[in-house]
Amino acid sequence: MNIQLNTSHKLHLCKLPVLAVALSILLMSLVSKKASAQDKPLTISEAIQLGLNNSKVLKLSQSRIDEAVSQYNQAKDKALPTGSVSFAYNRAEIPYNTLNFGSSTIGLPKNANAYLGIASLNETIFAGGRYKYAQESTQLLTSISRLDAEKDKDQITYEIISAYYNLYKVLQSQKVVNQNLETIDAQIHQSQRFFDQGLVTKNDVLRFQLQRSNVELTGIDLESNRKIINYNLNILLGLPESTRLTIAEIPMAKRSIGTLADYIDTAITNRHELKQLELRNKYAETNIKTINANTTPTLAASAGAYYIDASGNPLPRSGNFITPVTIGLTAAWNFGALWTNKNKLAEARIQRDEVSINKGITLDNVKNEVNQNYQNYMVALDKIKLLQTSIEQAGENNNILASKYKSNIASATDKADAETLLYQAEINLELAKADAGLAYYTLLKSTGKLNK
């Protein structure tokens, strides 16, 4: 019995490592699947679409548009006829119901009932254009709200693009860092072999190791920046916070560049701020017309029907009620507005002049903004050309020193410096490409054509 038990126990123990390995493989597979599910490749068009669809700011902007439309509809309703209907019951108790007039005496009943029904309909025929101007004003405000929403859309799109390019810059810099770490590791291996052969000193090996540490420090900073930008972009796009965004290399598209004057003309035509100020100028003109309309007479038509019953029974009975019907016209003129409106009118004209002045200031600012963004984009393109030449020079210099180092002609310091120059040139080129792409979108935004 003991032998059988021991054998069974041994077999059981033998199965445990196999089971543990199987469970470990299954767990690693699940973790791997979960990790890969969190990675999300993202193009710039997908990022913009996600951001716009999930933007809380745009939802608030739409709510403001809906509110402005509702106010416009309310202004239209004011021009409609007004009507009302009412029915009232009154009972009078008369404790002292006798009146003496000398030899005559009038006796009143102890109590009395009365029913009064009224139905009326009123329509303003002429009011100096008050209702018309009210509709125009609210319609202009609705258009201004729509332009606000378009401006918010442009701003959110630009924020998404900016965050996208910043993430791209970090990811490309990390790629360059990893490539340089591989190169430095090969150099460390080679220098260690030379050291073992007595061809270089220990200081040469340490030089490459120090260079590797410096590159690793850069990598740590880049990873911290990546996490921050990645998290912020997830929030902006409405994605789960744990999603790791990956971006393929952004090709430098050949974009046709027009003249500065062309971009300024486009901005004057399309910038939402200038369109809004044009609408606000129309709103100020309409406000002046509204104030002037307050000095004009009004004419209104009305129709009414009455039911008067003095009996105790609310149901009509012949001879107990009357039903007068009225039709009338009412003309009214608040001529006091002729002298009380003048200061209101002066204020409205001042507000119109302020809008005109503000439009001139905004126009100047738009021109300055377009010019600055145009020059920044041209500089970014020039930097790319210069850095491409620098990489070619740094690469050639690195190859020469690598050959000299292998021949023991150049020192490890010279070789490490050449590697550093090439490494820095590669990073600078990737950053310059991203800066040029962002500068182009910045220029588009300043012309008002970012989403067109």
Extract the tokens encoding 187.
């150099």
pLDDT digits (tens, 9 = 90+) for 48-106: 999 999 888 888 888 989 988 898 888 888 888 899 999 888 888 888 878 887 778 88
Q: Hey, what domains does the chain have and what are their CATH numbers?
A: 41-80+127-297+335-447 (1.20.1600.10), 89-100+112-125+302-332 (no CATH)
pLDDT digits (tens, 9 = 90+) for 329-353: 988 888 888 888 889 899 999 999 9
More confident residue, 15 or 294: 294
Average pLDDT value over all residues in the chain: 83
pLDDT digits (tens, 9 = 90+) for 145-196: 999 999 999 999 999 999 999 999 899 888 888 888 888 888 788 888 878 8
pLDDT digits (tens, 9 = 90+) for 95-147: 887 888 777 888 777 788 888 889 999 888 888 788 888 888 899 989 999 99
**pLDDT above 90: residue 320:** no
Give the H/E segment covering residue 199: none
Task: Give the pLDDT confidence score for residue 29 in this predicted structure.
Answer: 45
Task: Give the pLDDT confidence score for residue 9 in this predicted structure.
Answer: 42
What CA–CA distance (Å, rounded) separates 326 from 120? 9
Q: How confident is the model at residue 314 (pLDDT cuts 50, 70, 90)?
A: low
pTM value surpassing 0.85 = no
What CA–CA distance (Å, rounded) separates 452 from 441? 12
Question: Which segment of 101-105, 272-276, 297-301, 441-445 scores lowest on mean pLDDT?
Answer: 101-105
Extract the tokens encoding 204.
């040469």
What is the dihedral angle through the alpha carbons of 70, 71, 74, 78, rounded to the nearest 10 degrees? -160
